[in-house]
Structure 1
Amino acid sequence: MNGHANGHAASTFGYDVLVIGAGIAGINAGYRLQTALPDYSYAILEGRHELGGTWSLFKYPGIRSDSDLHTFGFSFNPWLKPNSIATGESIIEYLNETVSKFGIDRHIQYNHKVTSADWSSDQQQWRLEVDYEGHTKIYHAKFVIMGTGYYDYEKPLEAKIPGLDNFQGKAVHTQFWPEDLDYKGKKIVVIGSGATTITLVPALVDGGAAKVTQLQRSPSYVMNSPQKKPGEYAWYERVLPRALALWVTRMKFILIPYLFYLFCRKFPNSARNLLRKEAKSVLPEGFPMDPHFQPSYNPWDQRLCFCPDNDFFKSFESGRAEIITDTIRSVVKDGIELNSGHKVDADIIVTATGLNVQVCGKIAISVDKQPVDVSSQWLWRHTMLTNVPNLGVLIGYINASWTLGADSSCLLLTRLLTYMRNNGYTKTTPSISESEKQNPRPVLGLTSTYLKNAFKALPHAGNSGPWLPRENYFKDYWAATRADLRKGLNFEKVST
């Protein structure tokens, strides 16, 4: 396939590989494809008007990464700025610079929203229906890679907040923040305790809010992430060549957080005491640690929240930020009444209560016109679905950088495509045995509310071999580059 419109129908286009989504995962897939398979044609179909995915969609004040950019960025285009935690705006700049530098931008087609994908066994290819500005275009591909992220872009997780309709002020969900929202001098209640809230509270204080109240049902663990300043260098950065120093930095940001994660899982009480002690040392004198910084779970049962240079903790020094740990009895016209009897006045209520988790971007997937229920399938090496031929799904880590997991999947898929080409295979489909289905495990293994709610919507991980959930980057990288591709996959040669 050459990537051009077929002569018999102007609206039909053919490629070797189609990538769905031009966020971090999709861009990374484009680079891996053109590097490993330069003779293959590919396109990246992006439903929105610009690249970036999450970083294009979310517009709330202070939006930033909750992973370091040395690993959240691309290994082939290292993050060069000194700060490891980056703003959404600078991430978009980095992504645009990356696609331009490597020619990936020439493969991206914007405003192309994929609505359905059907695998044809007769033709040994996918047929995709794509909405482009109200018109349907048909695409064919030998292989499809889903870089659609892990949540619903159009519908956030519904927060069950009693009486919210009574509120006469402005109610906002962080996924759809109004860019013209004027919050200066206003009393704001932010409902939530996750990474978005930890980002939002200091940003609203700095942006001139009169009062910012973080209202949480249960606390999260929050950890400082010190940021390097321009001109500040580690010892190895002064003596090693630039490329080697960047590699060392990347390895450091892969290894040290993983070791800390293992420490938290192995010694939860010590980790809890360490995190609480650090928080207390930077909070204002006499700030109550309990219950506001006393989570009911162990560190890394849920995702650890990071704040650069203690900005979240320091926001309480202003006197314009507070935390309340309580449950909501009802929202009233001018605030929120709590079950403790306390009332919080508010001009604006912000719900930062999580994402509506899904995979494959609400695309209707079928095989020979038979619909596929993604939630009833199993994930082969966290990257392909049982009973679905020639389809890759890019899912990253939730206890490390998303990009590390997505990239290990891309390396695996390009090796698989090379193997298929070299052996003349037209089709590969994951197949799991009944014994490997016993005692299924969650694909995303944390206990956050939005992930627990998503358990029934996601495919399963198995109990052994290529069906296990992700563990760590080093193991996944080995599997992507060395593991036996035939284990768990069926290959076929079908002439068309």
Structure 2
Amino acid sequence: MDKNTTDTPTEYYDVLIIGAGISGIAAAHHLQEQCPDKSFAILEAKESFGGTWLTHKYPGVRSDSDLHTFGYRFKPWTGAPIATGDEILAYMKSVIDDDGLQPHIRYQHTVESASWSSEENLWTITARRSDTGQSLRFKTHFLWMCQGYYQHAEGYTPQWQSMSSFKGQIIHPQTWPEDLETAGKKIVVIGSGATAATLIPALAGKCAHVTMLQRSPTWFTTGRNANAMAEELRLLDIDESWVHEITRRKVLRDQALFVQRTKEEPEKVKSDLLAVLREHLGNDFDIDTHFTPRYRPWQQRVAFIPEGDLFKAVREGLASVVTDEIDSFTTHGIQLKSGKHLDADIIVTATGFNLSVLGDISFTIDGEPLNFGDTITYRGMMFTGLPNMVWVFGYFRASWTLRSDMVGDFVCKLLKHMDANNARKVTTELRPEDEGMTLGPWIHPEDFNPGYLARGMHLLPKQGNKREWQHTHDYWLDKDDFPAIDLNDPIFSYAR
């Protein structure tokens, strides 16, 4: 028999979770805890769990969110607030072990298509095993999309003039070679975001020199990689579940106040952030050129630098920062538009992601191809005309996992409501009062505008000018709105 065919019968599950990353494991936990009668499986394309934390293996990889809020609501985080990739994987494994989730996860199962049938009120999912090439088919009542928002196979690298002439290595952090030798090498890291800011201190001292080449600066903040409140509570021998909840609330409040300040008094926030950098780099360093962005703080992410390690590497001469534009690649480095040349043996393109919408899966609804960009989002998780499906898309200005937990509660509440009413299908629909409302992009570029979103905004659903037809990206609104969702609202259309 050809390895690409199978006589394996179709498998049925009440719920299929797509992705075994941070959101997929949260989904499985909430489903198992709140709807223990539901059968489920998790389809994961990679060889193990972890998602982002399995994909990225570059030196120093770490969270850029505080683990007291990036950690799950139900699982206390006891380590440093900014954690390494390995620490996060170990944390996720403990959840999988505690909940007995391993038998539910199907690794190396790449979902290729998802087809909804209104006649059956079921999704049919086709997946291919990457290890054997075998094609498999599943049917499910409900589809829970937890596959993230970017392509894991390949990161985004712009095409610069004469890249092929460079005689060294060009590497994207997303596909970092395990056997890369850096000793004695000159390394240029293109980019200024959290990935570049993580890589550079990890490489500093392990190569001849490392340079951060940026077209424009990023806002940074810094501090101890510790939480004073958590430390104090532990000294008082407070139970870890209480430490987790109290610290989590304090961090969330502090973050919300900071975001509010960036909108209400952006110049004061800029001044405060730059003052911290001067403490690290001294008054002689050209902070205006290299660390003063053109946008207000939190119009793109503000990257946290634990212990100021990036600035320490610059201050000690192990790393440098160049703010310029690339003219072309040369055999031995990069020619800049200013006329300067950067010598390099290795060039790292820390230039972002390729946006992935619904895992780049081919969707059809009753035989018609789905154009996701034509739908309107309901609270950033359901979409008009798309039955029995929820997508987890986290926050830009708060930890992704906060929303994973809230969506988990909502899905379980929805599934119970459907069972109680003998409903086999649910879609979200515009009410009469919503017809003709103003529609806009998934998020307004004046509010948040990183490159991966700007490049792929047309692929994402539209949002309306009413809160229920938006992904507000505001945890403080959602934490009150989500538990109050009325499942009998005419927005929800059910079929029995």
TM-score, normalising length from structure 2? 0.94
Contact 1:382 1:409 in 2 (8 A): no
Distance 1:44 1:123, change over 3 A: same
Q: CA deviation at 1:375?
A: 1.8
The 3-state SS of whatever aligns with 1:139 is strand
Cα distance in 1, alignment partners of residues 266 and 407 from structure 2: 30
**TM alignment of 1:88-237, pairs within 5 A:** 88-132=85-129, 133-206=132-205, 208-228=206-226, 233-235=231-233
- Give the deviation of 1:358 after TM superposition: 2.1
Change (3 A) 1:467 1:218: same
Instruction: Tell me how far 1:46 sits from its aligned partner.
Output: 0.5
Aligned residues: 485
> Does residue 470 of structure 1 match 2:472?
yes
Deviation at 1:162? 2.0
* Aligned counterparts of 1:230 and 1:473: Cα–Cα separation in 2: 23
Residue 54 of structure 1 aligns with which residue? 52
Moved more, 186-195 or 474-483: 474-483
- In the alignment, the residues of structure 2 paired with residue 274 and residue 436 of structure 1 have an alpha-carbon distance, to the nearest angstrom, of 44
Separation (CA, whole Å) in 1 of partners of 2:301 and 2:230: 29
Q: Which residue is equivalent to 2:334?
A: 336
For the residue of structure 1 that corresponds to 2:287, the secondary structure is coil
Conservation of the 8 A alpha-carbon contact between 1:436 and 1:462: no
Q: 1:488/1:314 Cα in 2 relative to 1: closer, same or farther (>3 Å)?
A: farther
Kindly indicate whether the alpha-carbon contact (under 8 Å) linking 2:429 and 2:493 is maintained by their aligned counterparts in 1: no
Answer yes or no: is the 8 Å Cα contact 1:412–1:479 preserved in 2: no
Structure 1 residue 237: Cα displacement: 5.4
Change in Cα spacing, 1:436 to 1:205, as seen in structure 2 (3 Å) is farther
Q: 1:493 aligns with which of 476, 486, 495?
A: 495
How do residues 2-13 of structure 1 correspond to structure 2 at under 5 angstroms?
A: 10-13=8-11
The residue matched to 2:448 in structure 1 has which SS? coil
CA–CA distance in structure 2, aligned partners of residues 273 and 285 of structure 1: 14
5+ residue gaps, structure 1: 1-8
CA offset at residue 465 of structure 1? 3.5
Opposite residue 28 of structure 1, the aligned amino acid is A
32, 35, 47: which one aligns with 1:34: 32
- 1:75-117 per-position Cα deviation (integer Å, ceiling 9, x unaligned): 1111111x10000111111111110011122211111111101
Task: Give the equivalent residue in structure 2 for 1:449.
Answer: 451
Q: Cα offset for 1:163?
A: 1.9
Classify the secondary structure of the residue corresponding to 2:289.
coil
Q: Which amino acid letter does the alignment assign opposite residue 124 of structure 2? A: R
Q: 2:360 matched to which residue of 1?
A: 362
1:301 to 2:303 alignment: no
**What is the percent sequence identity of the aligned residues?**
37
Aligned pairs for 1:399-438 within 5 A: 399-432=397-430, 435=435, 437-438=437-438
- Judged with a 3 Å threshold, the aligned counterparts in structure 2 of structure 1 residues 232 and 422 are, in CA distance, closer, same or farther, namely closer
Q: Which moved more, 1:245-254 or 1:40-49?
A: 245-254
**Counterparts in 2 of 1:16-31, with a 5 A limit?**
16-31=14-29
In the alignment, what sits opposite 1:389?
A: 387
CA contact (8 A) 1:114 1:129 kept: yes
Which amino acid is the alignment partner of residue 416 of structure 1? Answer: L
Q: Which runs of 5+ in 2 are unaligned?
A: 1-6
Contact 1:131 1:137 in 2 (8 A): yes
Instruction: Pick from 296, 308, 311 the counterpart of residue 309 of structure 2.
Output: 311
Moved more, 20-29 or 400-409: 400-409
TM-aligned CA distance change 1:186 to 1:488, over 3 Å:
farther
Q: Judge which range, 372-381 or 470-479, deviates more.
A: 470-479
Residues 318-352 of structure 1: CA distance to partner in whole angstroms, max 9, x if unpaired? 21210000001111000111111111100000001
Deviation at 1:305, TM superposition (A): 0.7
Q: Which residue in 1 is equivalent to 2:67?
A: 69
Per-residue deviation, 1:183: 1.0
Residue 113 of structure 1 aligns to a residue whose secondary structure is strand
